[in-house]
């Protein structure tokens, strides 16, 4: 049976435009909160394939999306490379031993050896393959090397990125050494997710916009393209989605290139601009401003607007970044059904 989401990624004819939401498994769902409470904490949940599988499937049943995204986190990668990760309630992720010196980096496990430690992720994917309905696709994912490096250097989320940017301008060779090591792990990690059963993979560069346009290719995009090339060489039929957040100026200046299938458009980038610059080359995913989910009216208006721009083009509906924890479930359902309604052929 064909999967509508995979077909849309490959620009094949579909009965309507498929839809999913970034961060669709999460705190806005009471059913998620229940399973997370049973697990004790967020990382335990990531490490438990049965429970991770259960929360991955919840948004399919509850809000009716067309694809499932593996429940995990981008930060399990540096965790398994040997960094000490904790998710602190009310604070967020924290690495207690951020990278400051060459020795700190050399201590970390690299390449396939690090990717081999993420067995619980592959186990979750294998379980999902047994449990997901045949017509629903499973999306695997990773963080982009740059986005992962920001947490590995800063030790936590940041507003200013001062430690990694200090490195970018005063010791770029060392930043490249970190990015190289992470890229080599991610390449193996992506292949192993695909071999476990992921139908599609997405690379999240959530903090792309922290880099000035003239430096974006050098410190982030080229590593993402290298990962996509590696995947496409081994598994050309597996769609690859790139999601660099906040890169309107990068698109505007025709700086996007690479061998991948779908470009994820963030909510700050006008869909019409993305269509003009990228629509002939890549299927576009996105891009409703996530806060529109607080109002059904604002949601419908935006979905209709996106549909009028993307009608007849390669398109997948999504938000332009993750859903927020206090969005009413009913409004998320409304978004999904509106996307399916306005695009029905
Ligand atoms: O239950 C909880 O309180 C933890 C909240 C939570 C959840 C549900 C975190 C902590 N991560 C996740 C799951 C998660 N993370 C998924 C699951 C699949 C889905 O439903 O989408 C995915 C794909 C991610 C990816 C992720 N983690 C990104 C990239 C995507 C994005 O939203 O930009 C990033 C940047 C992270 C880091 C992270 N994980 C969690 C937090 C609080 C953060 C920090 C965010 C920050 O620094 O602002």
ipTM of the complex: 0.92
CATH code at 277?
Answer: 3.20.20.210
As annotated, the binding site for substrate includes: 23-27, 73, 151, 206, 321
- pLDDT confidence of residue 345: 86
Give me the pLDDT at residue 131, please: 97
Say how far apart CA 235 and CA 257 lie, in whole Å. 19
Residues 6+ apart with CB under 8 A from 236: none
**What tokens does 126 get?**
């294998």
pLDDT of residue 174: 98
44 lines ligand 1 (CB under 6 A): no
Å from CA of 344 to ligand 1 middle: 31
Eight-class DSSP state of 156: B
Three-state DSSP at 256 gives: coil
Cβ of 264 less than 6 Å from ligand 1: no
Range(s) of the domain holding residue 89: 4-343
At 323 the pLDDT is: 97
Cβ of 75 less than 6 Å from ligand 1: yes
94 in ligand 1 pocket by Cβ < 6 Å?
no
Measure 134 CA to ligand 1 centroid, in angstroms: 27
CB of 144 sitting under 6 A from ligand 1 = no
Return the pLDDT at 1. Answer: 80
Residue whose C-alpha is closest to residue 32's, from 75, 61, 8: 61
Predicted confidence at residue 177, as pLDDT, reads: 98
Number of the ligand 1 atom closest to the C-alpha atom of 26: 8
CA distance 188 to 112: 6
pTM of the model: 0.97
For the chain, which ranges sit under pLDDT 70? none
CA-nearest residue, atom 41 of ligand 1? 92
Query: Is any ligand 1 atom within 6 A of the Cβ of residue 95?
Result: no
Of ligand 1's listed atoms, the one at least distance from the Cα of 36 is 1
Strand partners, 88: 92
Three-state secondary structure call for residue 242? strand
- Determine contact, residues 143/74, Cβ cutoff 8 Å: yes
How do 85-88 and 283-285 pair as beta strands? unpaired
**Residues classed as catalytic:** 23, 27, 36, 73, 151
Q: What is the pLDDT of residue 289?
A: 98
How far is it, in rounded angstroms, from Cα 81 to Cα 113? Answer: 9
Q: Please tell me the total count of domains within the chain.
A: 1
Q: Which atom of ligand 1 is nearest to the CA of 204?
A: 29
pLDDT, one tens digit per residue, over 321-337 is 999 999 999 999 999 99
Residue having the nearest C-alpha atom to atom 39 of ligand 1: 73
- Residue among 20, 23, 67, 326 to mutate when testing ligand 1 (max atoms within 8 A of CB): 23
Query: Residue 305 contacts by C-beta under 8 Å, 6 or more apart in sequence?
Result: none
Binding site feature residues: 23-27, 73, 151, 206, 321
């Amino acid at each position: 049976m064909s999967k509508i989401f995979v077909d849309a990624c490959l620009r094949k004819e579909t009965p309507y435009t498929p839809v999913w939401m970034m961060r669709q498994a999460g705190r806005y769902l009471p059913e998620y909160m229940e399973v997370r409470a049973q697990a004790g904490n967020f990382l335990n949940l990531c490490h438990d394939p049965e429970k991770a599988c259960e929360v991955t499937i919840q948004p399919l049943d509850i809000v009716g999306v067309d694809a499932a995204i593996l429940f995990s986190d981008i930060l399990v990668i540096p965790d398994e490379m040997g960094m000490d990760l904790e998710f602190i309630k009310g604070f967020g992720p924290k690495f207690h031993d951020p990278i400051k010196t060459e020795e700190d980096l050399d201590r970390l496990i690299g390449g396939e050896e690090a990717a081999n430690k993420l067995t619980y992720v592959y186990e979750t994917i294998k379980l999902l393959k047994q449990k997901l309905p045949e017509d629903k696709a499973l999306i695997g994912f990773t963080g982009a090397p740059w986005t992962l490096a920001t947490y590995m250097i800063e030790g936590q989320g940041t507003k200013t990125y001062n430690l990694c940017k200090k490195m970018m301008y005063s010791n770029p060779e060392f930043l490249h050494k970190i990015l190289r090591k992470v890229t080599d792990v991610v390449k193996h990690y992506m292949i192993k997710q695909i071999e476990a059963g992921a139908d599609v993979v997405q690379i999240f560069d959530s903090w792309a916009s922290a880099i000035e346009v003239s430096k974006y290719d050098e410190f982030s995009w080229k590593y993402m393209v290298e990962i996509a090339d590696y995947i496409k060489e081994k598994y050309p039929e597996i769609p690859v989605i790139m999601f660099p957040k906040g890169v309107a100026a990068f698109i505007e200046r025709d700086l996007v290139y690479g061998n991948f299938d779908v470009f994820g458009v963030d909510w700050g980038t006008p869909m019409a601009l993305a269509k003009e610059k990228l629509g002939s080359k890549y299927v576009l995913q996105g891009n409703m401003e996530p806060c529109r989910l607080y109002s059904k009216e604002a949601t419908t208006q935006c979905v209709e607007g996106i549909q009028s721009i993307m009608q007849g083009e390669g398109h997948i509906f999504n938000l332009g970044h993750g859903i927020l924890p206090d969005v009413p479930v009913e409004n998320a359902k409304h978004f999904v059904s509106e996307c399916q309604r306005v695009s029905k052929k």
